[in-house]
Amino acid sequence: MSIYHVWARFNLYSFEDELTIFDRRQVPPIEYDAIVTAYKQEFFKCDLHDGYSETSYLVVLKINKNKLEELRLIQPLEWEYDEKINKKEKLNIEDGFFDEGYTKLKITNSMKFNSGTGKLSFRSLYQGSMYSDDVSENCINSLKKNDLDIKGILAGLRKSPRFIGKEEGGFSFTWKKGEYEASNLNAVMPKTIYKADEVEVNFPCCSKNQKFNTNMFKSQWGIRKLYCEDCDKYHTNFDQYFTFQKEKINFNQCGIDGYKDEEEEIIYGSIIRPLSNKNDKIDFIINE
């Protein structure tokens, strides 16, 4: 059985929206826009941008038989830092997603990469540059300290999460030589989607009932409205006129083909693990 351990937390500003994974030898010294564009192709970018001002992230280690199986960067939803986090029987860092109805994980992008040294650096290309000239150095030099720290955790010596400061510009540690797979993930709020002809529209103007059809929408002054041809009437706030099996539709949980059928998504984080032929399906920690 695997256990999860919160190793570290760090904060990012919305414009410092990423951590790029480099083999330790390839960590770039300075960030220029042109170089950053080139990195995008070659190296995996943990896309942590949430559009808010500042967010806390957690670095979570998945451990199986004293070996590091997986690393997750999670942006917990509705979660406050809890000093006792690693002393709890079960990590509660994903509760916020479930409380809000985000019960599915979806991979938004993923890539495979190779590490020749097995020494990985998670380097922020923006973070840190404002605070220190030596952010690359700081990031690389954190290797020894982090290796010791993680070794202790793998040996079962529990440690409180440490804080990674902005001036550190990221973090490095030794994992495994070889192939990795990394993915960015969103948490998704699943919706039940009805077929258009399963939904009835009850027009308030003439009380007629009709099967739903997207042609019933007409734009008036740039706003989408429900239009009744018989009465030549435009209706606003029309969600209330839609029924499925005579029941009003709750559009937070349901949608219709072609209308409000998009599921809400929010950033969950990134998952990185050495490539093996028995990689498990990606799921919430809480579902393990």
Pick the closer one to Zn ion by CB: 4 or 238: 238
CA distance 139 to 164: 10
Pick the closer one to Zn ion by CB: 234 or 284: 234
**Residues counted in the chain:** 288
CA distance 92 to 213: 44
The first and second tokens of residue 272, run together, are 């990185």
The CA distances from residue 32 to 36, 109, 121, 138, 153, in Å, are: 6, 24, 18, 18, 36
Out of 34, 155, 157, 206, the only residue in the binding site for Zn ion (CB under 5 A) is 206
Binding residues with Zn ion: total (CB under 5 A): 6
Pick the closer one to Zn ion by CB: 68 or 228: 228
Shortest reach from residue 221's CB to Zn ion, in Å: 20
124, 12 contact by CB (below 8 A): yes
Q: Which residue type is seen at 120?
A: L
Radius of gyration of the chain (CA): 24
Shortest reach from residue 234's CB to Zn ion, in Å: 10
Pick the closer one to Zn ion by CB: 133 or 230: 230
Shortest reach from residue 236's CB to Zn ion, in Å: 14
Pick the closer one to Zn ion by CB: 239 or 280: 239
The first and second tokens of residue 122, run together, are 């998670």
Shortest reach from residue 47's CB to Zn ion, in Å: 48
Question: Do β-strands 192-194 and 254-256 pair in parallel, antiparallel, or remain unpaired?
Answer: parallel
Pick the closer one to Zn ion by CB: 10 or 203: 203
Shortest reach from residue 237's CB to Zn ion, in Å: 16
Considering only residues 23 through 82, tell me which ones interact with Zn ion, judged by CB under 5 A: none
Shortest reach from residue 215's CB to Zn ion, in Å: 15
Task: Say which DSSP state 204 is in.
Answer: T
Can you list the alpha helix ranges (DSSP code H) found in 4-77?
33-42
Considering only residues 218 through 257, tell me which ones interact with Zn ion, judged by CB under 5 A: 228, 230-231
229, 238 contact by CB (below 8 A): no
Shortest reach from residue 206's CB to Zn ion, in Å: 3
Pick the closer one to Zn ion by CB: 195 or 224: 224
Considering only residues 176 through 205, tell me which ones interact with Zn ion, judged by CB under 5 A: 203, 205
DSSP string, 81-143: --TTGGGSSS--TTHHHHHTT--EEEEEEEEEEEESSSEEEEE-SSTTTTT-TTHHHHHHHHH
Considering only residues 92 through 121, tell me which ones interact with Zn ion, judged by CB under 5 A: none
Residues at the site binding Zn ion, with contacts judged by CB under 5 A = 203, 205-206, 228, 230-231
